Structure 1
Amino acid sequence: MFKDISVVVQGPVQALVDRNQEEGITQRCLRSVREHLPGAKIILSTWYDQDLDGLDYDELVLCQDPGHNIRQYNRDGSPHYFNNNRQIVSTAEGLKKVKTKYAVKLRSDNYLTNNDFVEYQKKYDVFGDAHRYFNQRVVVSDIFTRKFAKGLSVPLHISDFFYFGLTSDLLSLWDLPLEKDYIPSQALPFDASDPYHLVDCTQLFVLKSLKKIGEKFDLKHLHDKSIVGTKISEEFIANNLIILGETQLGLGLPSKFKGNTRVSKLKGKCSHYQFFEWELLYKKYSYRDYKVEIDFFYLARIHIARLCYIYPRSLETIFNIYKRKYFRGLS
């Protein structure tokens, strides 16, 4: 039924020394693909020396672990480690093995709860001209596709949890150069964005993909809009992506993102792009005759939540930035 789709399940299949993994989550991930995408090919892209017993996949890609990378140093001088290169390697190497027209990029600690994203990807087929880079739109999750971070609006903050679209488009997004370790200097001893907040990993991936195709976009820090302003970011989102919420996408998350965690509550979710907000961007930049059906009760809940949790945080963030500037003698 879904023979034109390959699912690249990427990442560790068990806990690593520096990364926890929920017991049995990869088995659940693989079972969910069999259940909700029957006929799709599963490509498991993971590391050497992982225990693969009991895992149901069609093709295995074993990658040399590039290890963690350093983008930042803590105030005590110790390095802050990231897994950016690990995600790039396991995703890109898996996608390179795909022979089907369409592909899914799925983390090994996530799972599917439906297949509705396939139809959503076909539905929005009108494009604007501004900042369109892909042949078709790519479906992403609203989880960590942020409209706001630390109380302030952010550009190009696209979730790295889930991607679905043409294989060629996903390769354009993920076949990226590895991130080099940050080398501190006397002027910038902590990171390249100090005293502002460091560019997020999700922004980093998008910037790398756009630079690869010739765009000279850059972000100096998490909230920087000097080159990529709100309009450019919105045009990119409208003409290249479809941001789906939990019910539309059908993406299950591990227990560390459930329960009392911030991302599972409205106070966390309200910082993310909502599906209706993506639809409004689609109408604004791609298809002006598109009719957006808005649940005004939910709209009110989101706006009230942002008034309570997002906007007050912006004052705290601005104060902290200026405080760091002051103590470093930059103001």
Structure 2
Amino acid sequence: MSIKSSDISIVIQGPIDWSVEKESLEGLTLAATRKIRGIFRDAEIIVSTWEGERYAGLVYDKIVLSPLPPAQGGAPSFTPNNVNRQIVGTRAGLSLVTRPFCLKIRSDMILDGDAFVRIFEERCKNPLSDERDVFEYPLVCNNFSSRNSASILERIPDHPLPFHPSDHFQFGWTDDVKVLWDIQLQSDEEGWYFLERAHPNRWRLHELSQYAPEQFIFLSAIRKKHSVDVHHYADDRPEVVALSDYYMNSHFVTVPDLLVPVRFPKYHTDHHFSFEWMRLNSLGITKVPSVVPSTVSRILSDIAYPFLHPIGFYKWLKKKVRRLGWI
């Protein structure tokens, strides 16, 4: 399989971000569209945003303006849930796609290369064949919000976050991207689920929705074909975690953001990279690198880890020794 630029549609979804992008000193979404055109000169670029947004100067082939859906779960002291905005905006953009392959990306992310296309060609060439499958082929997604249930359960026993692939960035066959996003909107009952119910743990007390947005999107796609019983965002029943592991590892090839490569100024910070342990296919980094790390630099980083982070290394070593039964 050899995917050309002319085979790809790119849907840039979300509000137009005019905050200054540090490298270009241009508006963030403007810089994002120019960068995409420079990398994929013959691709179809589609901007999907909201009515009333300022979009003059952006680089695109098509644009769609949708009415802005209301947020849910935004009671005082609670974080609003915007999953319906993601669904409406992405579906609108996907409705204009005409190419066989599609990239869905947020409007506040900067794409720095096309490595994800080569990854797709190498690792997603074989069709899925299990009766549980909902895609024809796996999608490539970034790992920033793709949750590793096994790693999380080692530290937070009641918070596995199953069925939680990234909703920031997906690339694959257009039909499969549409399967993921052509779903019903979240109901008010789901959006305000914990208003009159006790949360299952203390980790998402600021949110009222039954599922995290990433979970709602993927579970909704699966449920179009199969019945999947997941009680809430922290359902830790073994059968739920096992089924999640199947879908997460078969339906997605999860790539660290820095190797996609993509920049995400909103979340690529020292604070957020301290949660690498939560992510599928983690690079194990503890601060934001200035460049995409090479194989040599990653090896050197691993060697230096015990000296740079002695407490973390001690905890890791102690856990390994205990598993081996030496203490």
Q: Give the TM-score range, shorter chain.
A: 0.7 to 0.9
Task: State, as a whole percentage, how many aligned pairs show the same letter.
Answer: 26
C-alpha displacement of 1:275:
5.7
Question: Which residue in 2 is equivalent to 1:13?
Answer: 16
Per-residue Cα deviation, 1:102-154 (whole angstroms, up to 9, x for no partner): 11101000121110111111212345626322111101111011112883433
Give the paired residue count: 278
- Which of 210, 218, 227 matches 1:206? 218
C-alpha displacement of 1:92:
0.7
Question: Which residue in 2 is equivalent to 1:240?
Answer: 251
Superposition pairs for residues 123-272 of structure 1, below 5 Å? 123-124=122-123, 125-126=125-126, 127=128, 129=130, 131-147=132-148, 148=152, 151=156, 152-182=159-189, 190=195, 194-196=199-201, 197=204, 199-213=211-225, 215-226=226-237, 229-254=240-265, 256-260=266-270, 262-263=271-272, 265=273, 267-272=274-279
* Structure 2: unaligned runs, 5 residues or longer: 205-209, 285-297, 320-327
Partners in 2 of 1:183 and 1:223 — Cα distance? Answer: 14
Per-residue Cα deviation, 1:158-189 (whole angstroms, up to 9, x for no partner): 1111010111111110011111223899xx76
- Flag the 1:135–1:190 CA change in 2: closer, same or farther, 3 A: same
Letter in 1 for 2:278: S
C-alpha displacement of 1:246:
2.5
Question: Which residue in 2 is equivalent to 1:36?
Answer: 39
- Flag the 1:246–1:308 CA change in 2: closer, same or farther, 3 A: farther
- Flag the 1:170–1:83 CA change in 2: closer, same or farther, 3 A: same
Partners in 2 of 1:192 and 1:130 — Cα distance? Answer: 35
Is the 8 Å Cα contact of residues 199 and 219 (structure 1) preserved in structure 2? Answer: no
RMSD after superposition: 3.4
C-alpha displacement of 1:212:
1.8
- Flag the 1:272–1:305 CA change in 2: closer, same or farther, 3 A: farther
Partners in 1 of 2:313 and 2:132 — Cα distance? Answer: 29
- Flag the 1:122–1:73 CA change in 2: closer, same or farther, 3 A: same
Per-residue Cα deviation, 1:31-61 (whole angstroms, up to 9, x for no partner): 1211222211100101111111111110011
SS in 1 for 2:87: helix
- Give me the TM-score of the superposition, normalised by structure 2: 0.74
Per-residue Cα deviation, 1:7-38 (whole angstroms, up to 9, x for no partner): 000011147xxxx9977110111012112222
- Flag the 1:189–1:173 CA change in 2: closer, same or farther, 3 A: closer
- Give me the TM-score of the superposition, normalised by structure 1: 0.73
Letter in 2 for 1:133: V
